[in-house]
Structure 1
Amino acid sequence: MSISLFYAEEGTLAHELAELKLAKELGYISRQKYTKRLKEIRLAPIYTDEMDKATDLHKDFCVERFNEAKATNKDAVIMLEQRLDYSPWVPAGFGTSDTTILSTKKLEIIDLKYGKGIAVSAYENTQMKLYALGAINQFGFLYDDLEIVQMTISQPRLDSISTFEMSVKDLLEWADLVVKPKAELAFRGEGDFIAGDHCRFCKVKATCRARAEEKLKLACMDFQKPPLLSDEEVVEVLNTIDQLVSWAKDVQEFALTKAISENKLWPGMKLVEGRGSRKYADEDAVRQALTAAGYDQDLIHKKTLNTITTLEKELGKETFNELLGSLVTEAPGKIKLVPEQDKRPEIKASPAADFQ
């Protein structure tokens, strides 16, 4: 299974688990059906304890938001995995909102992001705004007093909750003046392809020519004229190198998947098998064989403490710090050069360091 396919299936299972827990909490499903489906999910090969904890956090957050809505309007409604149609602005456009909450004057769309690679912001998030348009399109006639749209992205594995709020009036104006004209162009196969951070979610990110040309600007920089890069050129490389590496990996994974699953032959390339990893076929049989041969148990078994990360998850951060905080040391991290907007605090280089 390719990495991208694994993450997709992992995300799908996490969403299903989160929906199941919310449905149970809200009384939308019987205990018998909940227990049966929960058991099936936990037997899936990609299920982990981390998935259970993350979906619990998301479920609690959604219930909290719904309770807040009911506090101002006892008739507030919450919908799970609601299909939303925004085709009045985007031809054939639709999406599925993980959680939709409707109450007096306010609509909230909550989206679960299970990934932990990049924190996704709700600020001016196009996907979330389109979902909100879909909700207004379908339910606006029932809630004709809607004034505010609140869009929230819940990313429990990163302890990240991002919320963006705007008026219904501004949202509809954006839909009419920005979305609709661009969507009509795209539907006719016209308009421009623009590479950006959004490319990482695109189905053709590996073979998109616009993205390739954008990334190859860095790879094709003329390092001969002048002989040394200017400070500005060095910074340009530093700011785009991660994107270039990400793009190269996408192309590599695409080509490998095609070669394996479709027997595609790439000119000048071939499939080979890398070094395999060894494991015991039967651990009990190994123990018995070594014991029968007279070897000591200390040689057979290795006893070590669980890792810091494992114990911190099991005990909880507060208990872990209370019991073991004074017994844990932390070595300095590897120094990196990052853009100024990075949230980590700046450190000063040693004046004695010889950078020449």
Structure 2
Amino acid sequence: MMGGHKDRKHALLSASAAHRWLYCTPSARLEEQFPDKPSEAAAEGTLAHELAEAKVRNYFYPADFSKRKLTSFVKKMKENELWQDEMVEHTDAYLDYIKGTALALDSQPYVAIEREVDYGGYAPEGFGTADCIIVGDGCLHIIDFKYGKSPDGRVTAEGNPQLSLYALGAYEAYKILYPIERVKLAIVQPRLPDGISEWECTLKELLMFGEFVRKRAALASKGEGDFNPHAKTCRYCRARAQCRARSDRNVKQAFDLGELPPLITAEEAGRRLCAMEDVAKYQKDLQAWALSECLAGKDVPGWKAVEGRGSRDWADMDKAFKTLTDGGINEAILWEKKPLTLAQVEKVVGKKDFEAAVGSMVVWNPGKPALVKESDKRPAITNKVTAVDAFKEEK
């Protein structure tokens, strides 16, 4: 059976929100009072996950999910307005990674697809659904498919709390059946360059994490502990716009500077950039919430909702253009010939055909310099001219 991604229930202490409730324990109860509003990006990710599940299920269990069923399933998926042809390629990358992992093992492994795991022994009523679990050669593999494409949304496997909770639940389920000494977490995020992240630890290290979870989950389930507002913990929290701890922290970062020398140092700039990372994001969240309050007829002192600058549009463009051409206006001046962008052409033609036909005609223009955290995997650049480059320029 397929996983039914859309209709899944979520635990209070869900694995997907573990990065939040583990480090900001009161947030789990605080955000309960706010509705979970799904975004288009989330719906798109759900669709891609369903396709990925179908492919993996067909590969490992063709008797239950045949090629014919897969073809029919994909045909139906293509009717969805969020369907994108590139989903086929990206889910193939996920399947290839899983196949490679399974084939590299000495013996035939146990494979579970979209399996609900119970980690309630570590977090009260905790459960979640792991994309793929593979057990073999004494190693428990947890493989997760991410469909996000924003570099800011890059997810790494190292110490990943979501996958670690899945691993704890899987270990409890399979420890009697299979010898497990090591745990390997992997995230496949194919829409990003270098989108595969892996991390391995011993079973002892995983169980040590489990003890940490027990202590934090005990606080989180009661809504106790200290708030820990941070760009990462607040990013998807449903209470992020009204949370007082986040508000106070950002106001302090923005205004409470104290008496300081007239010029800041590079060291101070680095610290402040880290400290104020969430300030701009918080302002946008707060403005969005205040606007919704005003539109609902509630009072936000000092602020009000107004109609933004409007725009004109045709009630019936075809009829308007016909009226103009019937009146003697040349139709050619009413239209503008505009080429598709490179990315749009690639999407229309298909990546493989595009590469074969015009791949050699594509040049890569480097992006503008951007300031990112030191942990970013991209190599650092500088505008300093080296001696070698200087002599080249002279020649």
Range of TM-score over shorter length: 0.7 to 0.9
- Does residue 89 in structure 1 map to residue 122 in structure 2? yes
- Residue 323 (structure 1) aligns with: 360
- Does residue 38 in structure 1 map to residue 74 in structure 2? yes
Question: What CA distance in whole angstroms lies between the structure 2 residues aligned with 1:17 and 1:106?
Answer: 27
- Residue 354 (structure 1) aligns with: none
Structure 1 residues without counterparts, runs of 5 or longer = 352-356
SS in 2 for 1:305: coil
- Residue 237 (structure 1) aligns with: 272
- Does residue 191 in structure 1 map to residue 228 in structure 2? no
- Residue 303 (structure 2) aligns with: 269
Question: What CA distance in whole angstroms lies between the structure 2 residues aligned with 1:237 and 1:131?
Answer: 36
Amino acid aligned to 2:102: F
Distance 1:226 1:137, change over 3 A: same
- Residue 102 (structure 2) aligns with: 66
Question: What CA distance in whole angstroms lies between the structure 2 residues aligned with 1:320 and 1:312?
Answer: 11
Match of 1:306 among 316, 340, 346: 340
- Residue 201 (structure 1) aligns with: 236
Distance 1:148 1:290, change over 3 A: farther
Trace 1:101-116 onto structure 2 (pairs within 5 A): 101-116=134-149
Amino acid aligned to 2:120: S
Match of 1:151 among 177, 185, 199: 185
| 1:321 Cα offset (Å) | 6.8
Kindly indicate whether the alpha-carbon contact (under 8 Å) linking 1:87 and 1:93 is maintained by their aligned counterparts in 2.
Answer: yes
Question: What CA distance in whole angstroms lies between the structure 2 residues aligned with 1:57 and 1:281?
Answer: 45
Amino acid aligned to 1:84: V
Question: What CA distance in whole angstroms lies between the structure 2 residues aligned with 1:237 and 1:222?
Answer: 10
- Residue 8 (structure 2) aligns with: none
Kindly indicate whether the alpha-carbon contact (under 8 Å) linking 1:312 and 1:320 is maintained by their aligned counterparts in 2.
Answer: no
Amino acid aligned to 2:218: E
Amino acid aligned to 2:96: D
Distance 1:84 1:307, change over 3 A: same
Once structures 1 and 2 are overlaid, which stretch shifts more, 44-53 or 133-142? 44-53
| 1:259 Cα offset (Å) | 5.4
TM-score w.r.t. length of structure 1 = 0.81
| 1:89 Cα offset (Å) | 1.1
- Residue 211 (structure 1) aligns with: 246
Question: What CA distance in whole angstroms lies between the structure 1 residues aligned with 2:134 and 2:293?
Answer: 42
TM-score w.r.t. length of structure 2 = 0.74
| 1:274 Cα offset (Å) | 2.7
- Residue 84 (structure 2) aligns with: 48
Amino acid aligned to 2:163: M
| 1:236 Cα offset (Å) | 2.6
Kindly indicate whether the alpha-carbon contact (under 8 Å) linking 2:254 and 2:276 is maintained by their aligned counterparts in 1.
Answer: no
Once structures 1 and 2 are overlaid, which stretch shifts more, 236-245 or 26-35? 26-35
Amino acid aligned to 2:170: A
- Residue 171 (structure 2) aligns with: 136
Once structures 1 and 2 are overlaid, which stretch shifts more, 283-292 or 246-255? 283-292
Distance 1:274 1:16, change over 3 A: farther
| 1:171 Cα offset (Å) | 0.8
- Residue 250 (structure 1) aligns with: 285
Kindly indicate whether the alpha-carbon contact (under 8 Å) linking 1:110 and 1:151 is maintained by their aligned counterparts in 2.
Answer: yes
Structure 2 residues without counterparts, runs of 5 or longer = 1-35, 387-395
Distance 1:41 1:247, change over 3 A: farther
SS in 1 for 2:191: helix
Between the aligned residues of both structures, percent identity stands at 37
- Residue 7 (structure 2) aligns with: none
Amino acid aligned to 1:324: M
- Does residue 119 in structure 1 map to residue 154 in structure 2? yes
Tell me the alpha carbon deviations over residues 209-253 of structure 1, each in whole angstroms, 9 at most, x when there is no partner: 333333333212337644444444333333344432223223333
Kindly indicate whether the alpha-carbon contact (under 8 Å) linking 1:311 and 1:320 is maintained by their aligned counterparts in 2.
Answer: no
Question: What CA distance in whole angstroms lies between the structure 2 residues aligned with 1:49 and 1:291?
Answer: 39
Kindly indicate whether the alpha-carbon contact (under 8 Å) linking 2:250 and 2:276 is maintained by their aligned counterparts in 1.
Answer: no
Kindly indicate whether the alpha-carbon contact (under 8 Å) linking 1:58 and 1:156 is maintained by their aligned counterparts in 2.
Answer: yes
Amino acid aligned to 1:238: L
Question: What CA distance in whole angstroms lies between the structure 1 residues aligned with 2:182 and 2:171?
Answer: 11
Distance 1:181 1:253, change over 3 A: same
- Does residue 18 in structure 1 map to residue 52 in structure 2? yes
Tell me the alpha carbon deviations over residues 62-119 of structure 1, each in whole angstroms, 9 at most, x when there is no partner: 33333334xx222x22222211111111111111111111223111111112112221
Question: What CA distance in whole angstroms lies between the structure 1 residues aligned with 2:137 and 2:220?
Answer: 36
Distance 1:245 1:129, change over 3 A: same
Question: What CA distance in whole angstroms lies between the structure 2 residues aligned with 1:96 and 1:164?
Answer: 20
